[in-house]
Chains A and B, each alone.
Chain A
Amino acid sequence: MNLDIHDLVVESDHDFRVRTDVYTDPAIFELEMRRIFETTWVYVAHESELPKPGDYVSTTIGLQPVIVSRGDDGQVHVLLNRCRHRGSAVCRLERGHAEQFKCPYHGWVYGSDGKLLGIAQATGYPEGMPLSELGLAPAGRIATYRGLIFASLEPDGESLDERLSQVATYIDLWADRSPLGSVTLTRAAHKFLYAGNWKFQLDNGVDGYHGNYVHESFLAILEKAGEKTVRGYKDLRSTGSVVGLAHGDGFIDRPYGGMAGQFEYHDPKLSGYHEQLRQAYGPERAQAVLGQRNLLIFPNLFLFESHIRVIRPLSVNETIVLMQPTRLDGVSDELNTERLRTHERFFGPAGFGAPDDVEMFVDGQTGMKARGVEWSILSRGLHRETRGDGVWLGGHSTDEAPQRSAYREWKRWMAGAGGVTSSREA
């Protein structure tokens, strides 16, 4: 990579462009892992996945394997999945329950809080082995908000509260889809693996522009089912808006009664749901809660009505996307099942919508092999957005304000704004 970070994202009042290399250059990908994923706050798991002490999930921060576990003290721990002896992963399973993590290689044993509990044949080591310092290495920082567990490998930096100060309002609206204000993830998830850069998913999750084209077959299905006409759906593109926030966050904002139709659950047999929300939050907030937002929390998390979506980059052109459906706490089983069936209809590898999005991601990876044209254009709506203090309010729901926020933040971290050219950046 012989490019200056500042030349990769170009912005003026009438122009916003991102260079092709941002999607294709392995060196830029490596730097993204160091300066973004291993430095900023990233989402790692949901508290409902770890209800009891000893419960764990294994995942990644950037490319680094980590364990998210609940210790006997009830606290959540985020631990590097690497034995302190010779580096073996101590946890191979995606999720489970364990009193301890035992390294399969030489039998070193760690507690669910990461503490080293014992070394096999310990007398074989010289005196003065600092056992208390040889626990599984913890992430630098861990914090939760509304059940979402975030971690940062860097010990220093802004608190999660500061990080989420703007977007918290919208996380609240998402969580309050439950009258109890909390959700539980299903055990199974929809998982995609696609041969494209992770930022294609980042761009598309808050893209209000593609639906009429990429999802034409889904709109036709809705029309055939008598649910909404294609024309009606297209007209609804002019309702709502898009919003970019500071910190790289942003969302598509569809008001109650508009695009939200298929996620509002008006079916008379489910109508108790709306009443439950009104009783829990009052009529005004209930209506706000029932709006539909595709909310991006930079860099790796989306909150959708039906699911949590997690981006897991593998390499510059390989990405895993997890779509983990939610069950709303405190509502009828019937509603949660209906939400699940609605989710399956569009999302997942065999759904009627998401595979078409993923097709666009690999198409992007194909198209960007063509060089000579070095830029992709993200200037849609620049002339009609309203700018406030860390808020970019799009003039139309098809505008690219959220993506611009994400790339501003991308550039800030890639240029080293974390204050960190971290210890991991050799």
Chain B
Amino acid sequence: MTRAEAELFIIRELRLIDERRFDDWLALFAPDCLYWLPIVEGDPAVEPSLVYDDLQRLKERIFRITASPPAQEPGSRTLHNVSNVDVAEAGEDGVRVLCNLTVFELRPGDPIQVGLAVQRVFAANAEYHLVNGPEWRIQLRKVWLLNRDEPLYNLTFLF
């Protein structure tokens, strides 16, 4: 996978999130995947993460986002940008891609409603492990938020 191919893969993957095509997005993940937002460097078996999803829990996350819970009523609009794409390691079975993500999130509404009508911006380093098969699949999607260890308001959307 070249850098241009990796970038295009991620651009298209992110577009699925922003277009709320969540089932198509899920289909990009390998069965042994991990979608991970750590809070600190350290062993995720010992330290809590913001998100530590295997495929089962990732499916639960999608179900929840689309089930209109209070934290998604109204739902989030998101816009994901990817930049600084670098294919850090490339082998026959897969590649490790490093990149930066910028995520904008907005829950639209009347500003009198506390928590709505506030556009938030998140910056992150991301690491993808993509595995080769009939199609490329995501085995690891690690998002290292700049404000990972700060007090945060609801994160009931996808990074």
Contacts and interface: CB of A to CB of B under 8 A. Distances in A.
Contact of B115 (A214, A348, A362): A362
Instruction: Classify chain A: how many residues form its interface, as a range.
Output: 35 or more
Interface in B11-28: none
Given A320-B151, A345-B57, A220 B63 contact: yes
Contact of B151 (A192, A224, A225, A369): A192
Contacts of A363: 70, 114
B76 to A, nearest CB: 11
Contact of A191 (B42, B47, B51, B151): B151
B70 A366 contact: no
Contact of B49 (A196, A216, A344, A360): A344
Contact of B153 (A327, A337, A358): A358
A348 B113 CA distance: 22
B50 to A, nearest CB: 5
A189 interface: yes
Interface of A: 186-196, 214, 216-218, 220-221, 224-225, 317, 320-321, 325, 327, 333, 336-337, 340-341, 343-345, 348-350, 352, 355-356, 358-360, 362-363, 365-366, 369
A349 B70 contact: no
Given A193-B151, A350-B51, A355-B155, A362 B114 contact: yes
Given A192-B151, A352-B61, 5 more contacts: A188-B39, A189-B48, A191-B152, A193-B153, A352-B60
A91 B52 CA distance: 33
Contacts of B70: 214, 355-356, 359-360, 363
B149 A188 contact: yes
A378 B50 CA distance: 34
B4 interface: no
A325 B46 CA distance: 10
B50 A340 contact: no
Central interface residue in B45, B57, B70, B73, by most chain A CB within 10 Å: B70
30 contacts: A186-B47, A188-B49, A190-B39, A191-B150, A191-B151, A192-B153, A193-B153, A195-B115, A217-B64, A220-B67, A221-B60, A224-B60, A320-B151, A327-B46, A333-B46, A340-B48, A344-B48, A344-B50, A348-B50, A349-B153, A350-B50, A350-B51, A352-B64, A355-B70, A358-B71, A359-B71, A362-B114, A362-B115, A363-B70, A366-B112
A405 B118 CA distance: 36
A188 B67 contact: no
B69 interface: yes
Q: Would you list the 9 A-B pairs with minimal beta carbon distance, nearest first?
A: A193-B151, A355-B71, A217-B69, A188-B39, A359-B70, A355-B154, A191-B151, A350-B155, A362-B114
Contacts of B154: 349, 355, 358-359
Nearest to B52: A344
Contacts of A190: 39, 48, 50
Contacts of A188: 39-40, 42, 47-49, 149
Nearest to B43: A337
B112 A186 contact: no
A366 B50 contact: no
Given A186-B47, A188-B39, A196 B114 contact: yes
A150 to B, nearest CB: 23
A214 B150 CA distance: 25
Given A187-B40, A333-B45, A344-B51, A365 B60 contact: no
A369 B112 contact: yes
Interface string B67-94: 1111101000000000000000000000
